[in-house]
Amino acid sequence: MMAGLLAKRTVSRTTRFGLLVAALVALSCFVVWLRPWTSGEHERELQAKGGFELLVYARKQQHVTLLDRFNRVVYPGEEIRFILAGVPEGHAYVLVASVDAAGRATVYFPYGGTGSAPLPGPGRWEVPGSIVLDETLGPERVFAIFSERPLAAADVVLALVRLGRAGKNAIRDARTLDVPDTEQRSFLMFKQARPGP
């Protein structure tokens, strides 16, 4: 009888311990999931220094991931979103565009526009909409181009096409486009074929 009671207590303690561990794991996953979307120390530091940055997020199988220099691989069909953290002083307009490994230039924001769009103000700003990555594999570099006055989208596309014609290595190495009187940030992604099952 005593052995039966001890066994029940042991199971009860083990079950409670297991539930506690599961709850802590779930909470830590929840905190990690929220963290990229909240304004953190890095962003406050950028604003304090007057800095600015182009942040790129990818939705990978229902998980949202901040891409960075250690995590650049994306796959066709994934969704990408852009966030601008900070604005360079005196540069109230922005245009977001990219060039891919095939040398194709795409203007993402303002989509379908003929020139740069005004920024809503300083601080963190999410570029409206998201893009779905196509099947073109290889490096793709995205640029956020800030300017004092609106830039003609055609001029930016021309600079992107020139960079694309220079080849994949040029796309990998470029940090800025040849567009005068601008402040720029860029991010390099590597689009790969999705691994098999």
What is residue 13's predicted lDDT score, i.e. its pLDDT? 54
pLDDT-derived band at 195, boundaries 50, 70, 90: confident
Are 22 and 48 in a shared domain?
Answer: no
Q: Please report whether residue 197 resides in a domain.
A: no
Q: Are residues 100 and 60 both part of a single domain?
A: yes
Q: What is the identity of the amino acid at 82?
A: F
Intra-chain end-to-end CA distance of the chain, in Å: 53
- Asked, as a colleague might, if the bond just before 110 is cis with ω within 30 of 0, I would say yes
Q: What is the pLDDT of residue 26?
A: 42
Residue bearing the bigger pLDDT, 51 or 163: 163
Residues 142 and 110 in one domain: yes
Co-location of 7 and 53 in the same domain: no
Residue 196 lies in a domain: no
Domain extent, residue 175, equals 40-191
Q: Say yes or no: 101 and 17 in one domain.
A: no
pLDDT of residue 12: 54
Residue 90 lies in a domain: yes
Question: Domain tally for the chain?
Answer: 2
* Shared-domain flag, residues 101 and 114: yes
Q: Is 156 helix (H, G, I), strand (E, B) or coil?
A: helix
167: left (phi over 0), alpha (psi -120 to 50) or beta: left
Q: How far apart are CA 177 and CA 175, in angstroms?
A: 7
8 A C-beta contact, residue 108 and residue 56: no
> Does residue 52 sit within a domain?
yes
Average of per-residue pLDDT values in the chain: 80
In a domain, 12, yes or no: yes
> Same domain for 122 and 49?
yes
Please report the pLDDT score of residue 113 as a whole number.
86
Q: Decide which of 20 and 161 is more confident.
A: 161
Q: Are residues 21 and 117 in the same domain?
A: no
151 and 64 in one domain?
yes
**15-62 pLDDT tens trace:** 554 444 444 444 333 333 333 433 344 444 444 345 789 999 999 878
Same domain? 31 vs 96: no
Q: Per DSSP, what are the bridge partners of residue 131?
A: 80
Asked if residue 86 belongs to a domain, the reply is yes
Q: Decide if 171 is inside a domain.
A: yes
Q: Do residues 30 and 72 both lie within one domain?
A: no
Rounded to the nearest 5 degrees, what angle is found at the Cα of 54, between the Cα atoms of 52 and 59? Answer: 145
**Same structural domain for residues 10 and 62?**
no
pLDDT at 101: 96
**Residue 105 forms part of a structural domain:** yes
